[in-house]
Chain A
Amino acid sequence: MPFLRKRANAWIPRGRLTRAAWPRLRRLSQLPPPPFNPKAIFLNIPYDRDFESLYLAYIVGIYQLDLVPCIASGIPGGERRLDRIISLIQGCRYSIHDLSRVELSATPPATPRFNMPLELGLTITWAKLHPSRHTWFLWESEPRRLQKSISDLDGTDPYIHSGTVAGLLTELRNAFVSKHAPPWKR
């Protein structure tokens, strides 16, 4: 069917991907996924001053649950940031995506932050492809805001930390119920 073949070829950039490259690409796609740390949690959080106390709370709370936090800036090396993030997602058993500060920046031009939703999207794809290797969690400070900001995630219940350290530590224990954790105190 010449018409269909012509349409399909339109996806392939001429001169870049030759017919000889296809077997190599197919081999690459069949490679086993990279090894992962079963205790590692990738933290997808905003890196700003207002978030510092919650950042500290994440680190402390995660270690209390006998798990290990990982952040993008924690990896040395000159690798491209997005590649580092993808490797981190693949290397962690869990990920936490804190969307509590997906808002317009204070400095002009007022721009929403898209880094965290982008990393969440990458993670969802990875978890869909390898459901037994990755579990992701959503964190928010306000209930029902997620339905407004990312309505495609309807049906996903975020953990609400209310922007407080105590709230965050409590919700961490709720999300990662550990055999070492004592009963929840009020």
Chain B
Amino acid sequence: MASYRLVQGEVESVLRGAGTRNLYAASVFKELCYLALKAARLHAPGEDD
């Protein structure tokens, strides 16, 4: 859940950077994947559930 909150907090800036409101756009998906990967390295699964 901690990883999820971390990525969720970055969604607005990702959308702004990609210049779209579509969270499913290819460029946004790629950015979200980078963020999720980074977050996964910081927090173990199940942490703060």
A residues at B contact (CB < 8 Å): 47, 52-53, 55-57, 59-66, 68-69, 71, 73-76, 165-166, 169-170, 173, 178, 180-182, 184-185
Contacts and interface: CB of A to CB of B under 8 A. Distances in A.
Interface residues of B, number: 24
A71 B4 contact: no
Given A63-B39, A65-B45, A180-B44, A47 B24 contact: yes
Given A55-B24, A60-B39, A63-B39, A165 B4 contact: yes
Contacts of A66: 40
Given A64-B3, A169-B46, 18 more contacts: A55-B23, A56-B7, A56-B32, A59-B7, A59-B33, A59-B36, A60-B3, A60-B36, A62-B36, A63-B40, A69-B33, A165-B1, A166-B1, A166-B49, A180-B44, A182-B45, A182-B47, A184-B46
B45 A181 contact: yes
Q: Chain B: interface secondary structure?
A: helix
Interface string B14-43: 000000000111100110110011011001
A133 to B, nearest CB: 23
Contacts of A170: 49
Interface of B: 1, 3-4, 7-8, 11, 23-26, 29-30, 32-33, 36-37, 39-40, 43-47, 49
